[in-house]
Amino acid sequence: YVEYDVGFDDDGRLHGIQIDLAGNCGYSPDLSGSIVDRAMFHSDNAYFLGNATIYGHRCKTNTASNTAYRGFGGPQGMVAIEEIMDAVARSLGKDPLEVRKLNYYGKDER
């Protein structure tokens, strides 16, 4: 689960973002906390986010607990920012690839 608030200019360059990630941690802690942490750490993926605040919420549910597996939280964070990039591009009527390229780390002052 992800909610976000993102600030960007008319070109699609991100200037600030708040991301709230929630992980379904199941009925016992196991490694769920670490999985949510990794999702937070990877939520920038390849992009400079500007002023960023990222929250991770661990949700206890009646499902099986999470444990170590391939990727271990990284893909969840990356999927979140990729959806955000798509949403920025859609709102501006721009090609999503161009918005992504504009926000890569290592461009200009970033």
CATH classification at residue 6: 3.30.365.10
Predicted confidence (pLDDT) at residue 45 exceeds the cutoff of 70: yes
Mean pLDDT of 29-57: 94
pTM for the whole thing?
A: 0.90
Residue 110 lies in a domain: no
- Cα torsion through 95, 22, 37, 20, rounded to 10: 50
Helix (H, G, I), strand (E, B) or coil at 9: coil
pLDDT (tens digit, 9 = 90+) per residue, 59-96? 999 998 877 777 788 999 999 999 999 999 999 999 99
Q: Which two tokens stand for residue 97?
A: 């690839």
83 falls within a domain: yes
pLDDT band, residue 29 (cuts 50/70/90): confident
Please report whether residue 109 resides in a domain.
no
Residue 70: what pLDDT? 76
Which structural domain, as residue segments, surrounds residue 70? Answer: 2-102
Residue 108 in domain:
no
- In this model, does residue 107 exceed pLDDT 70? no
